[in-house]
Chains A and B, each alone.
Chain A
Amino acid sequence: MGNGRIQVSVIVNGEEYQEQVEPRLLLSDFLRHDLGLTGTHVGCEHGVCGACTILLDGQAVRSCLMFAVQVDGQEITTVEGMAEDKDHLHPLQQGFWDAHGLQCGFCTPGILMTLVPFLQENPHPSEAEIRAAISGNLCRCTGYQHIVDAVLLAAGYMGEGIGE
């Protein structure tokens, strides 16, 4: 009991996958190990650090706090789904590039995935709103200032239609 595998059909970054998984497999491990999408990072595995944040049906969620079996029939976007190709970054990625919004980069995928729906809902955020939005993502390098700068820059790019 408990070890039987269950079929999961899920669309990740527009591509359909069908896999057999153990019920206890975390969604974060499914993305990394079964699908090879290692852009989603695993930090704490108890919902504190935010590194594993992905979009589930367009909403930012922690993939370490879900089981892969739960996403059957749903759509996921990971950081790999953001940019068109390496020469055409998402405006948020471009903002992080231009404003040095990362150092070691471990937290960056989770922060980007948190901010995609945030900027859709709030295209002209204040600095305080940005800080509240990323309150569930830990960064141990930057002190957050360059991340906030990057988001403000990205919001401007999106307003001008750059990178879209």
Chain B
Amino acid sequence: MKPAPFEYLVPDSVEAALGFLREYGDDAKLLAGGQSLVPAMNFRLVQPGVLIDLNRLDELGYINPAAEGGLRIGAMTRQSRLERDSLIEQRAPLVFEAASYIAHPQIRNRGTVGGSLAHADPAAELPVISLALGARFKVASAAGERWVAAEDFFLGMFTADLSPEEMLVEIELPAPQPKSGWAFLEVARRQGDYAMMGVAAVLTLDADGVCQQARLVYLNAGDGPVAARQAAEMLVGEAQLEELCEAAAAKAAAEEIDPPGNVHASPEYQRHLARVLTRRALQQAFQRARDARN
């Protein structure tokens, strides 16, 4: 199908884009990579009166080092950069590892980091990864800027904490902790398809090998990225993590996720996948944390 008619605006600065948003608000849609919005427009599920194309905003395409080993990523950075960038590899290895799971190469060449986060698809990888890493988001409007933590940003199905006049402009990732390990695993029927289940695990150990912090976050397991906080809490303060992986995985899969099921996977099968993937992800993250230098 073809999209309904719209007025097309191409701002040449973030300021101009925010001015258009203030003017058109609810009637406007921001076009980032367009890999989710344009299909929805082609189906006429979305019919914006005004389309504000952000693709000329080169100022929002960057991956920069931040203070103390963190990263700042511009919202219009293409997803394909994440899987090739050496700064990402060094400072956000979970992102580096998970990037190639995001859809297909052609999609990643256009799709943007900010677009995927703002779209807040519960089956998407980037919301899960940003929550697992404790990212913060810079949100701008003509009235000013504010920072939102990832755990407060995802409000529900395809809903992020963005008003019609606001735009996500930057993603800040904290530096990886010393002695930390990570893993991202998912199962899809075909590489690049929406995964039936996926999990990101991040563990931090102290010098004695005792777990200081643990995060487990799931995709396609509820209304947004779903954190299994109780299962993660089972690991904190413990040193014999290998013995706890199975129990934590079982708790997360049985009690903390709410998989919707679809034609390819029943909720029961999704829970089964979650349990198996969580166990493997925790084992891998634990191994990496233990092997980490310093």
- The reply to whether B53 and A50 form a contact with Cβ atoms under 8 Å apart is no
Q: Given contacts A46-B43, A47-B35, A65-B38, are A136 and B107 in contact (CB under 8 A)?
A: yes
Q: Determine the distance from Cα of A70 to Cα of B9 in the docked complex, in whole angstroms.
A: 11
> What residues on A are CB-neighbors of B51 within 8 Å?
23
Q: Given contacts A59-B109, A61-B106, are A23 and B42 in contact (CB under 8 A)?
A: no
> Which of A1-9, A82-90, A94-102, A151-159 contacts its partner?
A1-9
Chain A, residues 126-156, CB within 8 Å of chain B (1/0): the string is 0000011101100000000000000000000
Contact-residue size bin, chain B (C-beta under 8 Å from the other chain) = 20 to 34
Q: Given contacts A62-B110, A114-B106, are A136 and B192 in contact (CB under 8 A)?
A: yes
- Least CB distance from A22 to B in Å reads 7
Interface residue? A53 (CB, 8 A): yes
- The reply to whether B105 and A65 form a contact with Cβ atoms under 8 Å apart is no
Q: Determine the distance from Cα of A45 to Cα of B2 in the docked complex, in whole angstroms.
A: 8
Q: Which residue of B lies closest to A54 (CB)?
A: B106
- Least CB distance from A108 to B in Å reads 15
- Least CB distance from B240 to A in Å reads 36
Interface residue? A32 (CB, 8 A): no
- Least CB distance from A69 to B in Å reads 6
> What residues on B are CB-neighbors of A50 within 8 Å?
104, 106
Q: Which residue of A lies closest to B9 (CB)?
A: A23
- The reply to whether B4 and A65 form a contact with Cβ atoms under 8 Å apart is no
- Least CB distance from B64 to A in Å reads 22
Interface residue? B208 (CB, 8 A): no
Q: Which residue of B lies closest to A136 (CB)?
A: B104
Q: Determine the distance from Cα of A103 to Cα of B229 in the docked complex, in whole angstroms.
A: 52
Interface residue? B293 (CB, 8 A): no
Q: Determine the distance from Cα of A56 to Cα of B55 in the docked complex, in whole angstroms.
A: 13
> What residues on A are CB-neighbors of B107 within 8 Å?
47, 62, 136
Interface residue? B134 (CB, 8 A): no
> What residues on A are CB-neighbors of B43 within 8 Å?
46
Q: Determine the distance from Cα of A22 to Cα of B5 in the docked complex, in whole angstroms.
A: 8
List 7 A-B pairs, Cβ < 8 Å. A26-B42, A50-B106, A60-B105, A65-B35, A67-B8, A135-B104, A135-B190
Which B positions have Cβ atoms within 8 angstroms of A?
1-8, 10, 34-35, 38-39, 42-43, 49, 51, 53, 55, 80, 100, 103-107, 109-110, 190-192
